[in-house]
Each structure stands twice: as structure tokens, then as C-alpha cells.
């Protein structure tokens, strides 16, 4: 088939591997006709799981990888040492151009290290940010960067803003996405050294729709489509989102169970409440892309179920169809050239 | 009366000043017999408001200050320029030892600047952190620092950990409070440069119960009593807490209003839910102390109502009775001496 998009899926990564991963892959190829999945993992295990499903055989292929990288392993040592792991074998397929994207629910650290060292950065990109979608009141925003490379420089943040903008516009479909930088106040003179240095640089970028500083309080109400921050703060935002959400939902449940009256009310409220809160569930948005690489790498939650895996695989299709890596390369090349001319 | 504790209250600061502030002050003196309040503000306005209440006249005094510092004003210029503002006049009373504490719902920036420049830091304290209580699943934790002084050094964070520990133990009453540092993973080698440098220093502090790194996800479940972080991250945590909470509660309400069935359920659930969620409302915990100063300064939310103002005034009593400033001074003096001996 022409224009078949090939996605490598790490069958061994994540708390629910291989069962939910393989289920998600099967659902994805059934839903999208132009998709081919390469399932990387221990052949015997993967094939046994697969045999339970009815699926288009020519669009799922199993690639053997004898080793598995565990979540707790030091990432650099794992990537260097386990050459026959599903992550290393899978990423090499992307590197060689035999696949367009790599999806894994495995070790974040190993995926970040592998992304940079195996798949490799686009020329001119200084750092590859991890950019999950976080739910907001009426939609979702891209939070960039939540990776493991902390202590960023202002030039990194400017590239994050550009890449995030391209991703939101062409993959998610938000026209002229609003880009904000996380700060502790909205005034231009506020912030730490990094934010103060980055703010004027973002203001000068004519190719993005920079709306200025945003306070963390405003993030959940959806004031910006692309939320730029360095990875330490991004990581805190991402995890606190989950933590406050989980605690509040458990408080709501606890509140509903305190009296007989409230228990009856809870039964009536439950179905409607469930569907509203689903829109605030980050697994709806698939995995987080690692941007700025020569191919797409997507990191799913470690706890991913089939639905998130399926969504993550499907998002790779738009990424490839819209040729995002090429758009990022062009954009960065132009920006680098412009800076050189100015100097 | 002997052992009367004197608290200066900024009658002009906050969105609901002077009405709610004065109401809170009146309620506080009625509740606590050993409390005296000095209400600082435009005398005519304050006295008019006060005249509506019945209260022990000898324990509320009005001190005139003709100027008001607005929220938007640049803090340093405001403190320098408005010598007859309620903040400057009030803080001078603490500085001169005529009052034990200062409470305001006014401009955060002006309170932070005034705290350091007028009230003044305890000798040996390098930076005065703002430390609000944030609600957790079954209680509350102290988040230190959320102030405006960003880009902290590791020695600042160590002092924050010590001061926070003293405050939680002696004012809030938590025995041997657990101290954690905000990080992006729990392993000792994780973190940004500041956290990596601070971690071993905290580990060496024999006078605090250091439990190591905590991830933002764990904060709402209450894993630590004292949460140490530099002000930029602290500010993001504090504000995101509010933002995610507000958005989720509105989602819950929206969910309850989607069908006739859920609307009926909502009526039954409402009272029980309200009281459970109240325990997750930060205004229950009074204002945030600015620690390490020669007297206590407490910053209330700008939107404070009488109840928060009352709680904030009352927390000053334990602070004074437990002689927290002296405990901090002793602790820091010992720590500084020990470091000098080791060198």
C-alpha cells in the first residue's frame, strides 16, 4: 500500500506490558488503514499475545528483541548496555528510516536518552524537549519541557516555543497557537534569571504568537496553547496536576459517602460526573512527544492502558503526514541563519 | 493585663478592606482574651467601620496612617515613598518592639520588601521566606518558600528547612515534622543543580527530620510536613494548587448539572460535599508567615474574608507564646557557629 505510515511500538515497556500495549496496537491498525505497526519485544511472548486477536496480518510485524530495560535502571547505562532491548532495537529502526515513529510506555529516562543518542536531534536543535498535553477547562495545552534535562538556557526555551507552536498547529490543529512562558507574575520585569532572559527573546520571535507570562494559576483554565518552561518546573506542573486532581477526586468521593442522603445523591450524580471528569483525564490525549528528533518518539504513561497506546500510535500519523520533523528543521534553520546574519 | 500579645493589623490592605479586615480583628479579640489589636489605617474610615461592632474597647486601638499602598505599585518604591502608609507605619511598630506581629492582606511585594527592610532579618538569616500552609488529603503542609526572591542558593534552602521545621513543630503542633525537598524524582542523584547541592546539606542536618526528595505528585497526599523549595517553584506549586482545584470543582459542578437525574443527585450530595471540600480550602489555615524576621509578619490572601483574617491574627499568639523568633535565632546561631568551627 502507498503512503503506509510505520510506527514501532515497544511491546515490553510499561506497567501493563505486553497485554495492553499489544491490544492498543491491534486497535490502532484496525482503526487506521494507512498504518503499519512493528511490535518490538520478546518474539515468543508477543506472538502468543497477538494470537488472541483477529487483525490485518500484513500491517503488524513482530521484531525480536531479547532484552527488556526496567523502569529503575540508570538510563545511560541501560541504553549503552542493552543493545538488544526493545527500546534500542526499536529506536534504531527509526534512525535507519525503516520506521517513522517510536512509541513506548517504558522507562522515561531510557526513552529520553535513547531519543537523543540513537534517533538523534535535528541539526540546529540544542535539546529535545518532552511535551505532554495537559487537560484544561475546555481542551488541552502542550506543556514543554517536562523531560529530564534540567537547568535549561534561554536559547533552549526559544526553540521549545517554536517546536511546540508547530506541533500544536499541525498535529493538534490549533490555529495560531498562543504561546506563554510560566512565570510568578504577569509583569515583564518579574521572574527568575532564566525567564527574564528568555522573555525578550520570545517577544522578538515573529513566527510565534507569544502572549507573555502566565501564572501557574491560569494554566488549568486554558489561557495558552503552548506552555513554555524549563524541565524542572514543567515536571513539577505535570505531576502536581495529577496529584491535586487525584486528591480532590478522592475528597469528592469521600464527601459523597458521608451521609445516607449524600450516598443516594451520589448514585444519581455518578454517570454524568464520570463523563465530565473524563475530559480532564490526561490519558485521553495520548502520549507525550519528544520533539526535535530526526523521527518521532512518543512516551506514554507507565500505567497506560490500550486506549492511550492506541491514541499515541494514531497521533504519529498526523505527525508524519504533516511532516513535522521537516517543518521543525526548516524553521530552526531559518532562525539560526537569521541569528548568524544579525551577528 | 499581663502577657497581652499585640498584633498590628493593616486595616487598608486586601480586596475586602476595610470591612472584612476589621470584622476579623473584632472576632479575634472576642475569641482570645490575651490579644490586643492595633488597627492601622485611615482613622476616620477605620473608626466608622468599628463603630458598628460591640467589642472590648481596651483591646482594639486605632493608629492613623494616611496613605495606602495599592497592589499594583512597584514594591520597593512604595515602601520607600509612602512613609505614612498602613504597611510602613504598622511594620515600624513591630520593629520598635511596640507590637509582636503584623498581619496584612495587602500587596505581597510591599509586605515582603517591608518585612526585610523595616522589620529586619534575624542576625544570621540570609533570606526571609514566605511559607503558606497548603491543604493535603488529611491535613496541611508548610510550603517554604513562595516569596518573590527567586534564584536561591543551597544555604538559603537549608535555613528554610530549619525555620519551617521549628514553625511546624511549635506553632502548628506537628511533632518531629517530616522535611522533604521538591524534586523531579526520589533518587538522590536526580534534580537540578540547586537540589543536588542542597540534598547532602539537608542530610547532614541533625536537627531536622529530613525524609529526602518528594515529587510534586505526592505533595497533596501529605507525605511531608515541611516542603522545601526555592521561591519560583514554590510559587508555581501554590498557584497551580489553586488553579487545578478551582477548575476541577467547576468541572464537578458542570457534571452535576448535565442531566435531570444528576441535578436531583446534586441537591442531595451538596451539603456533605461542601463540608468535605472545606477541608481542602487554604483559607482555613490563615495567612502565610514571613519567617526569619525580628518579629512575625503574616501575609493573608488578597481576597481574605473575616474568617481568614481572624485565623491569621490568632496564629500570631502561638508564634509569640512559643517564642519562635528566639528559637529560630538560637538554632541559626548554633548552626552558623558549627559551620565556622568546621572550617
In a domain, A287, yes or no: no
Which pLDDT value is given to residue A248? 84
Task: Give yes or no: residues A137 and A276 share one domain.
Answer: yes
Number of CB atoms found within 10 A of residue B174's CB = 18
Angle at A324 between CA A320 and CA A326, to 5 degrees: 105
Which pLDDT value is given to residue B106? 95
pLDDT band at B97 (very low <50, low <70, confident <90, very high): very high
pLDDT band at A253 (very low <50, low <70, confident <90, very high): confident
Which pLDDT value is given to residue A202? 96
Whether residue A66 lies within 8 A of chain B, CB to CB, comes out as: no
Total number of domains in chain B: 2
Cα A48 to Cα A42, A117, A287: the distances in Å are 10, 32, 26
pLDDT tens across A139-187, in order? 899 999 998 788 899 999 999 999 999 999 998 899 999 999 999 987 7
Residues of A in contact with B248 (CB under 8 A): 220, 244-245, 248-249, 280
Q: Which of B261, B282, B303 is the last residue of a domain?
A: B282
Q: Do A221 and B243 touch (CB under 8 A)?
A: yes
Which pLDDT value is given to residue A225? 97
Residue A263 has pLDDT above 60, yes or no: yes
Which pLDDT value is given to residue B1? 47
Which pLDDT value is given to residue A219? 95
CATH of the domain at A184: 3.40.718.10
Which pLDDT value is given to residue B266? 87
Whether residue A182 lies within 8 A of chain B, CB to CB, comes out as: yes
Task: Give yes or no: residues B62 and B92 share one domain.
Answer: yes
Closest approach of B33 to chain A, Cα-based (Å)? 36
Mean pLDDT of chain A: 91
Task: Give yes or no: residues A154 and A274 share one domain.
Answer: yes
Closest approach of A235 to chain B, Cα-based (Å)? 6
In a domain, A312, yes or no: yes
In a domain, B287, yes or no: no
Q: Which of B233, B253, B282 is the last residue of a domain?
A: B282
When CB atoms are compared, the residue of A233, A262, A268 closest to B272 is A262
Those residues whose C-beta lies under 8 Å from the C-beta of residue B311, and which sit 6 or more positions away, are B284, B285, B286, B287
When CB atoms are compared, the residue of A218, A238, A246 closest to B243 is A218
Which pLDDT value is given to residue B221? 93
Task: Give yes or no: residues B119 and B187 share one domain.
Answer: no
β-strand pairing of A226-228 with B5-10: unpaired
Residues of A in contact with B275 (CB under 8 A): 255, 258
| Lowest-confidence pick of A96-110, A201-215, A229-243, A251-265 | A251-265
pLDDT tens across B148-198, in order? 788 899 999 999 999 999 999 998 899 999 999 999 987 777 889 999 999
Higher pLDDT, A341 or B309: B309
Strand locations in B116-260 (E): 133-136, 139-144, 178-183, 209-215, 226-228
When CB atoms are compared, the residue of A150, A267, A276 closest to B254 is A276
Higher pLDDT, B255 or A161: A161
Whether residue A217 lies within 8 A of chain B, CB to CB, comes out as: yes
For residues B82 and B65, give the distance between their C-alpha atoms in angstroms, rounded to a whole number.
10
Q: Do A269 and B270 touch (CB under 8 A)?
A: no
pLDDT tens across A32-72, in order? 999 999 999 999 999 999 999 999 999 999 999 999 999 88
Q: Do A276 and B231 touch (CB under 8 A)?
A: no
Q: Tell me what ipTM this predicted complex has.
A: 0.89
Which domain covers residue B325, as residue numbers? Answer: 1-125+292-343
Those residues whose C-beta lies under 8 Å from the C-beta of residue B247, and which sit 6 or more positions away, are A136, A137, A220, A221, A280
Q: Do A265 and B261 touch (CB under 8 A)?
A: no
Whether residue B52 lies within 8 A of chain A, CB to CB, comes out as: no
Closest approach of B139 to chain A, Cα-based (Å)? 12
Size of interface A-B (CB pairs under 8 A): 198
Which pLDDT value is given to residue B195? 95
pLDDT tens across B284-308, in order? 677 899 999 999 999 998 889 999 9
Q: Which of B232, B247, B282 is the last residue of a domain?
A: B282
Task: Give yes or no: residues B152 and B275 share one domain.
Answer: yes
Task: Give yes or no: residues A121 and A244 share one domain.
Answer: no
Amino acid at each position: 500500500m502507498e503512503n503506509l505510515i510505520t510506527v514501532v511500538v515497544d511491546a515490553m515497556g510499561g506497567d501493563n506490558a505486553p497485554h495492553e500495549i499489544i491490544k492498543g496496537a491491534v486497535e490502532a491498525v484496525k482503526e487506521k488503514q494507512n498504518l503499519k505497526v512493528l511490535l518490538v519485544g520478546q518474539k515468543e511472548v508477543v506472538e502468543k499475545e497477538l494470537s488472541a486477536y483477529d487483525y490485518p496480518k500484513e500491517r503488524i510485524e513482530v521484531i525480536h528483541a531479547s532484552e527488556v530495560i526496567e523502569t529503575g535502571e540508570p538510563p545511560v547505562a541501560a541504553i549503552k548496555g542493552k543493545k538488544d532491548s526493545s527500546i534500542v532495537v526499536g529506536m534504531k529502526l527509526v534512525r535507519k528510516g525503516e520506521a517513522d515513529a517510536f512509541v513506548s510506555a517504558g522507562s522515561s529516562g531510557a526513552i529520553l536518552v535513547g531519543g537523543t543518542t540513537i534517533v538523534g536531534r535535528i541539526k540546529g536543535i540544542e535539546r529535545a524537549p518532552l511535551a505532554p498535553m495537559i487537560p484544561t477547562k475546555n481542551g488541552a495545552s502542550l506543556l514543554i519541557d517536562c523531560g529530564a534535562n534540567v537547568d535549561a538556557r534561554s536559547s533552549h526555551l526559544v526553540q521549545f516555543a517554536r517546536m511546540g507552536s508547530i506541533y500544536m498547529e499541525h498535529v493538534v490543529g490549533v490555529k495560531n497557537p498562543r504561546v506563554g512562558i510560566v512565570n510568578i507574575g504577569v509583569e515583564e520585569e518579574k521572574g527568575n534569571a532564566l525567564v527574564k532572559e528568555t522573555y525578550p527573546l520570545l517577544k522578538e520571535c515573529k513566527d510565534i504568537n507569544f502572549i507573555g507570562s502566565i501564572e501557574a494559576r491560569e494554566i488549568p483554565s486554558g489561557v495558552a496553547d503552548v506552555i513554555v518552561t524549563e524541565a524542572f518546573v514543567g515536571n513539577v506542573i505535570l505531576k502536581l496536576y495529577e496529584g491535586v486532581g487525584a486528591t480532590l477526586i478522592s475528597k469528592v468521593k469521600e464527601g459523597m459517602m458521608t451521609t445516607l442522603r449524600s450516598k443516594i445523591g451520589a448514585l444519581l450524580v455518578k454517570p454524568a460526573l464520570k463523563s465530565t471528569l473524563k475530559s480532564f483525564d490526561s490519558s485521553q490525549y495520548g502520549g507525550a512527544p519528544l520533539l526535535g528528533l530526526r523521527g518521532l518518539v512518543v512516551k506514554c504513561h507507565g500505567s497506560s492502558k490500550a486506549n492511550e497506546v492506541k491514541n499515541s500510535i494514531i497521533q504519529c500519523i498526523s505527525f508524519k503526514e504533516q511532516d513535522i520533523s521537516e517543518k521543525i528543521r526548516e524553521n530552526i534553520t531559518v532562525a539560526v541563519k537569521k541569528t548568524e546574519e544579525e551577528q
